[in-house]
Amino acid sequence: MSSSLSHPPAHLPPSVALQLSQQAPVTLRNTPSVISSYSLSTLWSAAETPELWTEYENLMLSCLRTGDEQSAGQCLERLTERFGAENERLMALRGLFQEAIAKDDAALKQVLGEYENILAKDPSNMPVSKRRIALLKTLGKTTEAITALNEFVDSSPTDAEAWAELADLYVTQGMYPQAIFALEEVLLITPYAWNIHARLGEILFMAGSTGDSSGDKYLAESLRRFCRSIELCDDYLRGYYGLKLATNKLLTSLPQASRQSKSDSTLPLPDLKTVERLNETATAKLSEIVRRSVSGECEGYDKGEVIAAKALLDSGATKTIR
């Protein structure tokens, strides 16, 4: 339980979030509310750890998600007592709290106004500017959010999180080339992130499936990205799933493409034979992963992902039978 409290809770399944927030009153009672660094009591009470405050923050997020505003408010209060109201991160957290309890769009706009006031005073307040962008997205002003995010990455180009967010925003707008560029920036900062390689492969695959002339280029590139993600991570279900999809698609489109002239200077399209072999490998690996996770040998995989992989394998099997 404490292990899941020490990491950001956004990806947790709802049941875990519910469990965490149900235990919040107990957790709050058991943890010290105020730790002062200049009193005699520090001699015998437990030492202050950085993890404690991370846990408060994550607990607050879980409580807000499940609607337990009282506990969330308590967490926020304790954090404020410790770090002061002028702390940048706490400003963002307080804004998040107000966003969560806002009744309607007018209240949200008021929060947005507060963010803008804070940013007018101190434009370098990173957490608050991130919150402002997130709130713009919540309000449905995606284009404004993209503009703001572009300014943000201009001033802080090594923030991988912002680049990844920008890529997702571009994808929602269907602007694939821009999204691909943003994700490539993420990969410049974290070159070994196997999930980002897979994500880039997915976006390239989506771009390749739109059906314009450069579709095969995108598909080939996506194939390479999926291969890289598998290279970085053994038995990566998402990577093999994408590899299978990309090779399936390439196998249908490559025979026509090979007749066209290859005049451009970019990387050549992969061999038909290579693609076939990759497809076979992906099928074999996927079926092995599905078999092993159904039999309960490995439990790390997401259940939904395994079901999707199984469905993909089944559809491929029926196609070959026909």
Q: What is the spatial distance between Cα 199 and Cα 202, in angstroms, rounded to a whole number?
A: 5
Asked if 154 interacts with another protein (CB under 8 A), we say no
Task: Kindly report the number of other CB atoms within 10 A of residue 249's CB atom.
Answer: 19
Asked if 104 interacts with another protein (CB under 8 A), we say no
* 122 φ, ψ (degrees, to nearest 5): -140, 90
Q: Looking at beta carbons only, is 42 or 172 nearer to another protein?
A: 172
SS3 304: helix
Q: Which residues have C-beta within 8 Å of that of residue 208, sequence separation ≥ 6? A: 215, 216, 217, 218, 219, 221, 222, 246, 249
Please pick, from the candidates 196, 204, 269, 282, the single residue that binds another protein as defined by CB under 8 A. Answer: 196
Of 198, 164, 206, 156, the residue nearest 181 (C-alpha): 164
Assess contact for 309 and 301: CB atoms under 8 A. no
Asked if 200 interacts with another protein (CB under 8 A), we say no
Asked if 134 interacts with another protein (CB under 8 A), we say yes
Task: Please list, residue by residue across 96-121, b when 16 or more beta carbons sit within 10 angstroms of its beta carbon and e when fewer do.
Answer: bbbbbebeeeeebeebbebbeebbee
Name the minimum Å distance from CB 23 to another protein: 15
Name the minimum Å distance from CB 54 to another protein: 11
Name the minimum Å distance from CB 20 to another protein: 12
Name the minimum Å distance from CB 255 to another protein: 33
Please pick, from the candidates 23, 31, 138, 209, the single residue that binds another protein as defined by CB under 8 A. Answer: 138
Name the minimum Å distance from CB 184 to another protein: 13
Q: What would the x/- binding string for another protein be over residues 206 to 245, using CB under 8 A?
A: -------------------------xxxxxxx--------
Q: What is the spatial distance between Cα 226 and Cα 270, in angstroms, rounded to a whole number?
A: 14
SS3 255: helix
Q: What would the x/- binding string for another protein be over residues 21 to 60, using CB under 8 A?
A: ----------------------------------------
With the CA atoms of 15, 19, 24 and 25 taken in that order, what torsion angle do they form, in degrees rounded to the nearest 10? 130
Q: Which span (77-85, 91-99, 254-262, 313-321) binds another protein, by CB under 8 A?
A: 91-99
* 313 φ, ψ (degrees, to nearest 5): -65, -45
End-to-end, the C-alpha distance of the chain in Å comes to 50
Asked if 7 interacts with another protein (CB under 8 A), we say yes
Asked if 17 interacts with another protein (CB under 8 A), we say yes
Total residues contacting another protein by CB under 8 A comes to: 50
Of 227, 231, 237, 243, the residue nearest 288 (C-alpha): 237
Asked if 127 interacts with another protein (CB under 8 A), we say yes
Q: What would the x/- binding string for another protein be over residues 238 to 277, using CB under 8 A?
A: ----------------------------------------
Three-point CA angle 193, 197, 202, nearest 5°: 145
Binding site for another protein (CB under 8 A): 3, 7-8, 10-11, 14-15, 17-18, 61, 64-67, 92, 96, 99-100, 102, 127, 130-131, 133-134, 137-138, 160-162, 164-165, 186, 190, 192-196, 199, 231-237, 298-301
